[in-house]
Structure 1
Amino acid sequence: MGDRALPDFRTRRPSPALLRVLGMVLAVVLSTATGCAQSAGSEDGDSTAGLSQQAVSSASTMLDRFVADGHAPGVVVEVSTPDGVWTHTAGRSATSPDTPMSAQLQHRIGSITKTFTTTLILQLVQEGKVGLDDPVSHYVGGVPDGDRITLRMLGTMTAGLSEYLANPDFRNTFFQDPMRVWTPAELLEASYSLGAQFPPGTDSDYSNANTVLLGLVVEKVAGAPFGDVLTEKILRPYGLDHTVWPVDGSFPEDHIFGYTSLDPAHDVTDSTSWSPTQAYSAGQMISTAADLTQWIRLVGRGALLTPELQSERLRWLPLGDNDDNWHYTFGLEENSGWIGHNGAVPGYMSYAVYHPGLDATIVLLINSDAAIDGEPPVNVLLRDLSPVLFPEQPVRVPVVR
C-alpha cells in the first residue's frame, strides 16, 4: 500500500498519472471505521416514496449491513419521488458518546459544493456579467495560461490545471495542522507549482483548482465574499435553511461527526473539526439530507437557469474518460441518466443525484472515508443500493480505484 492522501473530492475515474501521485481517493486507506451499530430505522414514518415494500425492506437491510460490516459508523439515505420521501438511518452519528444517527443532522458535503459554485457562475452568465468562454485572466490574475483557460474549461474540468491535493508539500502541511485556515491563493499555488497536466481544452481531468478559481471569479464579479454571494443568490431565496458556508471547522447546528482513515498518525481519528478551508469553493460547504434532496432536484430540473443555459450546462466533450454512460458537464456528473455529484472531505462522504425522467432523487451521507476494495465507500454503496431502489434505472457508478 502506498502513502495516504487527502480525498480529492473526485467523482470521476482518475487518469493513470494522477493515480501514481495520489493512489486515488481513499484507495490507500489502511483501515475501516471501527465498530458496528444497530439501525436507527426509517425516520419518515410510513412513507415509502412509492417504492415497493420489498425494495424498502431490501434497501434497509443493505444499509444496516453496511454499518454492521464496519464500513462506516453511520449512514443516512433519503429517496424522493413524486409519491413522497423515504428516509432511512443506520448506526451512529458519533461514537463517543455513542449517539444514534439522525437524518436531521448537518454533514460536510465536500465536492457537492461544486454544484453550488458552478450554479453561481451560470447565474452570472444569465445576468450578462460573465461569459462561459471568457478567459479566466479577465477576472483572476496569475493563472498559468490564464488567457487560454476559459470559465467553461474550468467548470468542465478541461483546463489542464493540476490537482493541488497531489502536491506532497500541501498534504504534509495539512496533516501537520488540520485546523489551519487556508486561503484560495495558497491552494492555487500548490496547484501551479506542479505545472500543467495538459494544454487547455485538449483533455479532461478532475482538479479542485478549477472550482477554486471559479469561486474567486464569483467574488470578483459580485464584489462580495463567496459565502455572502452564495447565501444571497441561492441559500436564502430557495429556503436551504440548514445549508451553510462555514468560516472555520465548527458547525452551526447539531451535526454528524466524521471519522477519517487518512491521518498518517492514526488508523481512525475524529476529523469533525478539521478546517474545511482546504477545499474553499470546491468543497467547503455543510448541509443536510433534506436540503440536498431539495437542492439536487432544483439543479437537475434547471430551476435556477433558463432552459438554454441548462442545456449548455449539460453539454460535454468526448475528452479524457468522458463517455456516453458517465461524463462530467459544467460542475455536474451525468451518470446513466442521473445528474448530480459526490463529495469527500476527511471523515465525510456524500452523494446526491436526480433523474429527470423519474423526477427522483437519491441522497447518501456516510461519516467515514475508509475505502472498500480500494474504492470510495459512497460510490460502492450507491452502485449497490440504486438497483434495489430503481431496478429499471440504476446509477451505474463506474468502478474507481
Structure 2
Amino acid sequence: MRRTRGTSTSSRTRRRTALVAAGLVAALAAGSAAAPAFAAPASAPHASASAKGTYGPDAEALAAALAGLPDHDITAALVRVGGHGNWRGTAGVRDVRTGAPALENARFRAGSVTKVVTAAIVLQLAAEGRIDLDGSVQRYLPGLLTEDFKEPITVRQLLNYTSGLKPGASLGDTVEAGYPHRFETLTPQQVVAASVAQGPAYSPGTRQTYGNIHYTVLGLLIEKVTGDSYAHQAQVRIFRPLGMRHSSFPAAGDTGIHGPHNRGYDWIDGKLVDVTEWNMTDRFAAGDLISTTADLERFLVGLFRGRVVPEPQLREMFTLPDVPDPHYGAALERIEVNGKVVWGKGGSRPGYTAGIAATRDLSRTLVYSANSTDAKGDGQQAAAQRLAFPAFNR
C-alpha cells in the first residue's frame, strides 16, 4: 500500500492553517459577499491509496480535487473510492473558527441519499409479500388522497418518481428562506397534506418528476404496513445487519448532529453562516439521514451485491420506467461518467452535500461528503463534478 500524508504539525503548516481560518472567520464576522482571500489550504489533503494495476483509481486526479480546501465553495470534503483498488481522502477544516482539520470519520447530513434506504426497505417488504408494487396508495393508505385523485397511484410509481404528486409543504425552498425557520417543525403528514390539496400534476405513470414527496409518502407507507416507525425499520433492516453503527435518523425536532462531525456553512446575504443546527423533520424518509462515508460504502456494496434487497426486487432499482426521458429507477439515477454507466444518488441539506455511486459490477464505487457553502443551490452539482467525476476516470 502506498500512503501519503500531507498533514503536518510543523510551524509552517500551523501558520497556513491560521491564515485560512482567519480568512473564513473574517468572512463570518464581516459578511463580505466576496470570497475570503485564502493564502493557502489549511492543510494538504490526507490521503491513502491501494491500486491494482492500471485499473486502480486515478489518485492524482482525486488528490487534485481536494487540493486547496477550504475555499469559498467547500470547507471540508471526505472521499472513499473502492472496487478495483481503493483511495481515501480527507481535506479542509472541521470548524472555520478554529481551523481544526476535517475529521475523516465525521458524521454528516446525507440528504436525498436517504431515498435509497427508503427504497430498499420498501423492496424488502415487497419481497416478503407485505407490499405489492402494483398496489395503490389508495389501498395502503386509505383517506390520504382526495377524490381529485381518480387514478390509482402505485407503490412502483412512488419509487420511480412517476406518481404525479405535486411538491408538498416546505419551510423554505432555499437556505436563505428556510434559515429563519430552521428550528420549527413541519411534520411529514403536513407535507403530504399540502401536496394532496393541490390535486394531481399529471396522470400517474406518464412522466417522471424527481421530488421528495414520493418518498415522504413511502415513509408513511412503511410505517402503516409495519406498524413501526420508519427510523426503527431502517435500523433493524439496514443499519444493524450491515454494521452501519454511525447511521441514524434524528428524533423529531432534534436539530443537531450527534457524534464527531464537520460543521456546515452557507453563504446567506453575503455572510458565511453556520447552518449545522437545523430541524430536518420535514425531510423524513426523503432526506433525513445522518451517516458517515464508511457506513454508506457498506450500504452501497451490500445493496449492489444483493445482500440488502433480493432479486427480482433489486432489479427495480436498475430499471427505468417507460416514460419520456427517464433518469431514475427505484431511487437510483442512471448516469454516464467518462464513458461508464454509473448508478447512484446524491443529496444535500444546508451546509452538506453527499453522494454514493457505483458501476453495476462494483468495479468502481464512490462515496463522498462535502461541506458545501451552497449545498442547496449550484454547490451540489459543483461538488459532484469536482469530487465524483475523477473517481470514474479509469
After superposition, the C-alpha distances for 1:128-180 in whole angstroms (9 at most, x for unaligned) are: 00110110122223224286111100110001111236787999984432111
Is contact 2:164–2:200 with CA below 8 Å preserved after alignment? yes
What's 1:254 paired with? 260
Give the Cα separation in 2 of the matches to 1:318 and 1:57. Answer: 40
CA distance 1:172–1:308, shift in 2 (3 Å): same
CA distance in 1, matches of 2:278, 2:248: 16
User: Structure 1 CA distance, aligned partners of 2:82 and 2:95?
Assistant: 26
Question: Structure 1 residues 35, 117: CA separation in 2 closer, same or farther (over 3 Å shift)?
Answer: farther
Letter in 1 for 2:312: E
Deviates more, 1:234-243 or 1:178-187: 178-187
The answer to whether the 8 A contact 1:137-1:143 is kept is: yes
CA shift, 1:294, in A, is 1.3
Match for residue 9 of structure 1? none
Matches of 1:205 and 1:33, distance apart in 2: 35
Does the CA contact (< 8 Å) of 2:103 and 2:260 recur in 1?
Answer: no
Kindly indicate whether residue 344 of structure 2 is the aligned counterpart of residue 340 of structure 1.
yes
Is the alpha carbon distance of 1:53 and 1:334 closer, same or farther for their aligned partners in structure 2, counting shifts above 3 Å? closer
Q: Which one scores higher on RCO, CA 8 angstroms, separation ≥ 6?
A: 1
Mean Cα deviation higher: 94-103 or 48-57: 48-57
Counterpart Cα distance in 2 of 1:376 and 1:49: 35
Measure how far apart 1:241 and its partner are: 0.5
Secondary structure of the corresponding residue to residue 58 of structure 2 = helix
Partner of 1:58: 61
Provide the rounded CA distance (Å) in 1 between the counterparts of 2:315 and 2:343. 13
Extract unaligned runs of 5+ from structure 2: 1-31
Contact 1:42 1:86 (C-alpha < 8 Å) held by counterparts: no
Q: 1:361 aligns to what?
A: 365
Q: Cα gap change, 1:170/1:195 in structure 2, threshold over 3 Å: closer, same or farther?
A: farther
Task: Select the structure that is richer in strand.
Answer: 2
- TM-score, normalization by structure 1: 0.79
SS of alignment partner, residue 59 of structure 2: helix
Relative to the length of structure 2, the TM-score reads: 0.81
| 2:319 paired with 1:312 | no
Q: Are 1:100 and 2:105 an aligned pair?
A: no
Shift of 1:348: 0.7
Does residue 209 in structure 1 map to residue 213 in structure 2?
yes
Query: Number of residue pairs matched?
Result: 352
Write out aligned runs for 1:85-164 (5 A). 85-140=86-141, 141-144=143-146, 145=149, 148-164=152-168
Task: For 1:167 and 1:192, locate their aligned partners in 2 and report how far apart those are by CA, in whole Å.
Answer: 17
Cα contact 1:364–1:378 (8 A) shared by 2: no
2:325 pairs with 321, 324, 327, which one?
321
Residue from 376, 383, 386 that aligns with 2:385: 383
Q: Matches of 2:273 and 2:203 in 1, distance apart?
A: 39
Q: Does 1:240 align with 2:232?
A: no
Measured in 2, the distance between the counterparts of 1:243 and 1:101 equals 19
- In 2, distance between residues paired with 1:181 and 1:198? 30
Aligned with 1:379: secondary structure? helix
Q: Look up the equivalent residue of 2:332 and give its one-letter code.
A: L
Deviation at 1:229, TM superposition (A): 0.9
Whether the 8 Å CA contact 2:364–2:392 is kept in 1: the answer is no
For residue 80 of structure 1, what is the aligned residue in structure 2?
82
Letter in 2 for 1:256: N
- 1:5 aligns to what? none
1:163–1:206 Cα contact (<8 Å) kept? no
Q: Secondary structure at the match of 2:74?
A: coil
- State the shift of 1:350 in Å: 0.6
- Cα distance in 2 between the residues matched to 1:283 and 1:369: 18
The answer to whether the 8 Å contact 1:77/1:88 transfers is yes
Change (3 A) 1:251 1:132: same
Match of 1:187 in 2: 191
SS of the equivalent of 2:113 reads helix
- Alignment check: 8 A CA contact 1:105 1:255 kept: yes
2:5 is aligned to: none
| Cα separation, partners in 2 of 1:385 and 1:237, compared to 1, 3 Å | closer
Change (3 A) 1:97 1:189: farther
Give the residue type in structure 2 aligned to 1:89. Answer: T
CA positional deviation for 1:53: 9.0
Q: Distance in 2 between matches of 1:390 and 1:227?
A: 33
Bigger shift: residues 169-178 or 119-128:
169-178
CA RMSD in angstroms, aligned pairs only: 2.9
CA contact (8 A) 1:314 1:329 kept: yes
Indicate the SS of the match to 2:357: strand
Structure 2: distance between partners of 1:34 and 1:189? 43
Q: Are the structure 2 counterparts of residues 357 and 168 from structure 1 closer, same or farther at C-alpha, using a change threshold of 3 Å?
A: closer
